[in-house]
Structure 1
Amino acid sequence: MQNNTKKSTYSWALYDWANSAYATTVMAGFFPIFFKSYYSVGVDATVSTAELGFANSLSSFVVVLIAPLLGAVADAGSLKKRFLFLFAFLGILMSASLSLVEQGNWQMAAFIYTLGNIGFMGSNIFYDGLLPSVSDDKNVDYVSGLGFALGYLGGGLLFALNVFMVQEPSFFGFADKALAIKASFISVAVWWALFSLPLLLFVEEKKADKNTNNILLVEGYLRLKKTFQRVTSLKGLFLFLVAYWLYIDGVDTIIRMAVDYGMALGFDSKNLIMALLIVQFVGFPATLIVAKLADIWNTKKVIYLCISVYIFIIIFASMMQDVYEFYILALLISLVQGGIQALSRSYYAKMIPQQYAAEFFGFYDLLGKFAVILGPLLVGVVALFSHNSRLAIASVSILFILGALLLFFVDEEKVSKEVREALE
């Protein structure tokens, strides 16, 4: 029996509200700024960009390595909540611990940030795994979307409060902005912990059969191998997945490295943070508009439109001189960020049979959630060797161009037919 009640549904969705605070305030917002101006004080701007890029890549790579194991544990049923809160606790603890790192100690800051990212991404695996426990075939899209919407709203609200704290530190009793930012890291930990409680208390999960967990741990890797073999045998589908992995890596790299790039250009952190707020609150309605455009026009064409906008964004970013241009950049990103993610998912769904959706989306999610390896690594390497932040951010365009080229050879109808025939 599924625990499909309004209480469990909203309790589940509130976890997205809870942990999105880490994604906005820490990952996208204050940590890149604080890492460059406080933790890495005295370090060359391009070197600190490389350090941040490597930290993002390392955390993603670790989760990629353990993802099949984590997915198998999630399939064990009765362990999903336990492991969700184990990883959530890691993320919460690391967020609060950032407030203890002293100025100039970039090594410790990068280490704690890497662990925090692992906690954030790892907990999301089990969070996704609990979706069937709070939904059914009729409302799964709504419930999934509810979590997404609450994540935008919750993360944005706390981020807005944190921005106010940093802009007006004396109003909150802080001696300077540095203390306000450290307090913001603690507020994320408190927010994340507090709004995780409904899931802990009111979401139940199906109990697994006894003595099956060890078997499932082994079978997790075997299932991943089987799915990989099946996907790679379907050339059209595999081509789309590679294209998706490339351009979505570019999208996620822009999300994580945009503020660091603005700092490298010498822009004031106040303006960078305000620009991020634009992305947060414009992004959600813009996503709905882009989705509507796909209904009117064509999904693949709108994905191409989004990729084209991103390539323009990167070219524009590599040449911008004034801080007002960063606001334009943020507005452009907010118009396509959610849209390209949503349409890629729906485009993929059109190509796979419904009865295989769980298996194939598991592989899709693995690529999507842990794509942020190549992009930050590319930015970090280019920044380190060229000592040119503009060239480093421009290098991300390679991911979008390659993804667009591969996507050109994907024919939705032919792929759908190929998949259907192969699986019959």
Structure 2
Amino acid sequence: MEKRAVKAWIMYDWANSAYATTVLAAVLPVFYASVAAATLDADTAASYLAYTHSIGMLCVALLTPLLGTLSDLSGRKGDFLRVFALIGIMATLGFSIVGEGDWLLASVLLIISTIGFAGGNTFYDAMLPDLVPIERREMISSKGYAYGYIGGGLLLALNLLMIQQPSWFGLDSTLAGTRLAFVSVAIWWLLFSIPIFRFAPRRPAARDLPQSWGGYARVGARRLRQTFKQMLRFPQLIRMLVAFWFFNDGINTIILMATIYGTSIGIGTTDLMLALLITQFVGFPCTLLLGAWAQRWGAKPILLVSLSVYICIVILGYFMTEALHFYILAGLVGVVQGVSQSTARSLFSNLMPSGRTGEYFGFVNITGKFSSIFGPFVFGLVGQLTGSSRWGILSLIFFFVAGIAFLLTVKVQQGITDAQLADQEDQKQWGRHALKVGSDINVSG
């Protein structure tokens, strides 16, 4: 294991989490509502932002099969990561020039930055097996996740000071502090990406590489179909996947829309930012603690509890009227957000044949991107039809209830047995293949 490359890989989570916390979750939603969409009413602004997130995720979902194929075949994951990271960084920098009423420009920049951020993560995730032996991947992956919490939280705290105390930084207004926050995210993202840009691993390229983008797309589509056919042999994994489509969409929508929802019902910018800081710094220890509980009592029970807490969060969010309520909800999100994601990943890994986890996780990521389109769209549509974003947030109950319903049907032990049997079959087939190759060699000798 190349320690320098592993440290660089972990540091990239520190780097790009600044975009997730400051841009996606905190500053941009408020900036979009109060500046870019200042000519629109609050509920329309919230709906437009939701639609923009849906379009961005749709673009990522359409690109993912192509990106995954590039990742597998080219052996140049670091080069592609660099390109997409720079796309995201430049689009983030572009937010600093958005003026009042420029909601269309802001939406276009958000779509481009989403492609850069999520596209880069496709190659980033795919690097882990190249860097770390299987027995250490969970630990290294957790370190990256933890560094992301801390890195994103630290820059968010600095950005909060820029926005609330602009004079401390020689600025003349809160708006100037907001614009500088976007610049700081771009610089932070670029600066701490330099190690992975330099030390990303390279693998030999596959033979007979496609000679065109269309060729890569066809290979990606063919692999996707093959993976889906193979997964049909594992009904418990399919049930888990369907459950994941629903509850993951609900979780992502809360992350993306919480701040602009708070803005639309009159929560102040300072309170919104502080609440998001609470989520970051509560999330780090709670993820570790509840992860230990999941190891002791099982991932499925802890995941069910965390999704039930999300239902409570959505209901309480509908009745929320003041900043204190938002603080409480932010703390609750921090408690369950990390563990819901980590236990879902753990369950998936248990239900997959160990020899095919990379292939199957790729399918989970692709279909998860498609499912993430619907939550923001439903939030925006319901809010626009009813004239209130409160109904939009309440509509997310459906995603969590459906996710819990499908998760309850997952028979974890049966799924583990199915996966182990598949592993044994693969080993037998590999053994027969090895014997045949050896026989052929002896005959030719």
Shorter-chain TM band: over 0.9
2:83 corresponds, among 65, 82, 86, to 86
Which residue number corresponds to residue 279 of structure 1?
279
Alignment of structure 1 residues 190-269 onto 2, 5 Å:
190-209=187-206, 211-214=208-211, 218-269=218-269
Alignment of structure 1 residues 103-252 onto 2, 5 Å:
103-209=100-206, 211-214=208-211, 218-252=218-252
Structure-2 change in CA distance of 1:384 and 1:232 (3 Å): farther
Alignment of structure 1 residues 321-340 onto 2, 5 Å:
321-340=321-340
- Is the Cα contact below 8 Å between 1:41 and 1:104 reproduced in 2? yes
- Is the Cα contact below 8 Å between 2:58 and 2:369 reproduced in 1? no
- Is the Cα contact below 8 Å between 1:73 and 1:217 reproduced in 2? no
Structure-2 change in CA distance of 1:406 and 1:138 (3 Å): closer
Structure-2 change in CA distance of 1:352 and 1:133 (3 Å): closer
- The yes-or-no answer on 1:54 pairing with 2:51 is yes
Which residue number corresponds to residue 361 of structure 1?
361
- The yes-or-no answer on 1:97 pairing with 2:94 is yes
Which residue number corresponds to residue 32 of structure 2?
35
Gaps of 5+ in 2: 426-445
Structure 1 CA distance, aligned partners of 2:297 and 2:413?
16
Letter in 2 for 1:162: N
Gaps of 5+ in 1: none
Q: State the secondary structure of the residue aligned to 2:202.
A: coil
Structure-2 change in CA distance of 1:295 and 1:79 (3 Å): closer
Structure 1 CA distance, aligned partners of 2:108 and 2:419?
43
Per-residue displacement from partner, 1:378-407 (whole Å, max 9, x unpaired)? 001101111111111000110000111111
Structure 2 CA distance, aligned partners of 1:135 and 1:143?
8
Structure-2 change in CA distance of 1:78 and 1:418 (3 Å): closer
- Is the Cα contact below 8 Å between 1:77 and 1:205 reproduced in 2? no
Letter in 1 for 2:19: Y
- The yes-or-no answer on 1:23 pairing with 2:20 is yes
Structure 1 CA distance, aligned partners of 2:380 and 2:115?
19
Structure 2 CA distance, aligned partners of 1:216 and 1:304?
39
Structure 2 CA distance, aligned partners of 1:6 and 1:97?
35
- Is the Cα contact below 8 Å between 2:85 and 2:116 reproduced in 1? yes
- Is the Cα contact below 8 Å between 2:60 and 2:369 reproduced in 1? no
Structure 1 CA distance, aligned partners of 2:183 and 2:371?
28
With the length of structure 1 as denominator, give the TM-score of the two structures: 0.96
Q: State the secondary structure of the residue aligned to 1:138.
A: helix
CA RMSD of aligned residues (A): 1.6
Structure 1 CA distance, aligned partners of 2:201 and 2:398?
45
Per-residue displacement from partner, 1:149-175 (whole Å, max 9, x unpaired)? 111111111111111111100110111
Structure 1 CA distance, aligned partners of 2:234 and 2:126?
26
Q: Please report how far the alpha carbon of residue 422 of structure 1 lies from its aligned counterpart in structure 2 after TM superposition.
A: 5.8
Letter in 2 for 1:327: Y
Q: Please report how far the alpha carbon of residue 371 of structure 1 lies from its aligned counterpart in structure 2 after TM superposition.
A: 4.1
Q: State the secondary structure of the residue aligned to 2:365.
A: helix
Structure 2 CA distance, aligned partners of 1:352 and 1:8?
28
2:11 corresponds, among 14, 22, 26, to 14
Structure 2 CA distance, aligned partners of 1:37 and 1:181?
11
Structure 1 CA distance, aligned partners of 2:370 and 2:323?
31
Alignment of structure 1 residues 413-424 onto 2, 5 Å:
413-421=413-421, 424=425
